[in-house]
Amino acid sequence: MKAAAALATLALAAHAAPAAAFLPGPRRALLPRLAGATTPGQVALTFDDGPSAASTPRFLRVLADHDVRATFFLLGVQAQRAPDVVRAITAAGHDVGVHGWDHRCLLRRSPRATHRDLRATRDLLHRLTGSRPCWFRPPYGVFSTASLISARRLGLTPILWSTWGFDWTESCTPGSIRRRVTGHLGNGGTILLHDSDVTTGNGAWRATLGALPGLIEDCRRRGLAVGPLPRPEAAVEAHPGVEPGPSGFAGRRTTVVKWAGEDRVPPPGFEPGLNAF
Ligand SMILES: [Zn+2]
């Protein structure tokens, strides 16, 4: 009985271990690429939870006005509802990534269901846009072991973010979003915003939309070029201390990981995606 309980605990720990990757401290220190590190001097602009016929086209207009391209992490169920919006996103030169079929925490999904969700979303986006997505960001930024294995099998590279706008809350304003993002903006990184309120229904995307022009201006004033996530290969090349890991989702440490001007040495024996941290 005790052995069975211990085994169950072990299985759960193995399933949930990568979830800790969402913690900003360890993530930034140990998995710079997963944490959204980009080439210094560049900042990647990313949006989650779309597409939404109500809000996404308004973001496309503001981005076009400022001549900025971004990466949109889409939900399969939303893409099915608004296929024209998906096409409009890529027609405007933006990139799309997989956010999942619906907005469920993957720790509660079986490996089989996780794989089905990711594959269905990837294939739908491929059909709608004509090109295969290469990035994967899970709902809530929470990975399960199964999701990392599936992502690898599906040719998707996991990525999170280095700064966010906290722009899903009812109380957020354009000013609060802008302050929060720029307060954690390094010399290159990945901004997380939301172009849809599909998870809350509270209309918070209006504040995000209002923050966008100022945010772009802030980045440019700091000498940062704003754009979509670079291709996964380019992201690795930007970090000479990091080599592609066995799962293809993160870097295996070779010497010292440099990110945002800081030197970080992962602990001995660290294996991306395998250790609980
Ligand atoms: Zn989301």
HEC states along 177-205?
HHHHHHHCCCCCEEEEEECCCCCCCCCCH
Count Cα neighbours of 125 within 13 Å in the Cβ-side half-sphere: 32
Query: Is pLDDT of 248 > 80?
Result: no
271 band by pLDDT with thresholds 50, 70 and 90: very low
> Terminus-to-terminus CA distance in the chain, angstroms?
28
pLDDT in tens, 31-74: 666 777 777 889 999 999 999 999 999 999 999 999 999 999 99
The CA 3 to ligand 1 mean position distance, Å, reads 37
Lowest-pLDDT choice from 164-168, 175-179, 186-190? 186-190
* pLDDT recorded at residue 181: 95
235 band by pLDDT with thresholds 50, 70 and 90: low
Q: Is 95 a catalytic residue?
A: no
* pLDDT recorded at residue 232: 81
**pTM for the full model?**
0.78
| Catalytic position from the list 15, 48, 195, 239 | 48
The CA 45 to ligand 1 mean position distance, Å, reads 15
For the segment 203-223, the average pLDDT, to the nearest whole number, is: 96
For the segment 93-114, the average pLDDT, to the nearest whole number, is: 95
Query: Is pLDDT of 83 > 70?
Result: yes
The CA 25 to ligand 1 mean position distance, Å, reads 20
Residue 157 has phi, psi (to 5 degrees) of -100, 120
The CA 200 to ligand 1 mean position distance, Å, reads 10
Residue 123 has phi, psi (to 5 degrees) of -70, -40
The CA 140 to ligand 1 mean position distance, Å, reads 6
Lowest-pLDDT choice from 11-25, 52-66, 213-227? 11-25
* pLDDT recorded at residue 15: 54
For the segment 177-203, the average pLDDT, to the nearest whole number, is: 92
Q: Assign 64 to helix, strand or coil.
A: helix
User: Can you give the length of the chain in residues?
Assistant: 277
Q: Assign 145 to helix, strand or coil.
A: helix
More reliable by pLDDT, 191 or 268: 191
| Catalytic position from the list 194, 197, 218, 239 | 194
* pLDDT recorded at residue 246: 33
Q: Is 123 a catalytic residue?
A: no
Residue 14 has phi, psi (to 5 degrees) of -65, -35
**DSSP code of residue 231:** P
Helix (H) or strand (E) holding 270, with range, is none
27 band by pLDDT with thresholds 50, 70 and 90: low
Ion ligand 1: residues, Cβ under 5 Å: 48-49, 139
Residues of the chain with pLDDT > 70, as a percent, come to 72
For the segment 120-137, the average pLDDT, to the nearest whole number, is: 97
Closest residue by Cα to residue 229 from 71, 64, 69: 71
d(CA 277, CA 275): 6
d(CA 133, CA 97): 5
Query: Is pLDDT of 224 > 50?
Result: yes
Tokens representing 180?
A: 């929060």
Closest residue by Cα to residue 17 from 4, 31, 3, 5: 31
**DSSP code of residue 223:** T
d(CA 253, CA 238): 14
For the segment 124-135, the average pLDDT, to the nearest whole number, is: 97
Q: Domains of the chain, with CATH numbers?
A: 36-264 (3.20.20.370)
* pLDDT recorded at residue 25: 54
Q: Assign 268 to helix, strand or coil.
A: coil
116 band by pLDDT with thresholds 50, 70 and 90: very high
Mean pLDDT of the chain: 80
CA 274 to chain centre: 20
Top mean-pLDDT range of 4-8, 231-235, 261-265: 231-235
b/e sequence 169-202, b meaning 16+ C-beta within 10 Å: eeebebebbbbbbbebbbbbbbbbbbbbbbbeee
For the segment 94-105, the average pLDDT, to the nearest whole number, is: 96
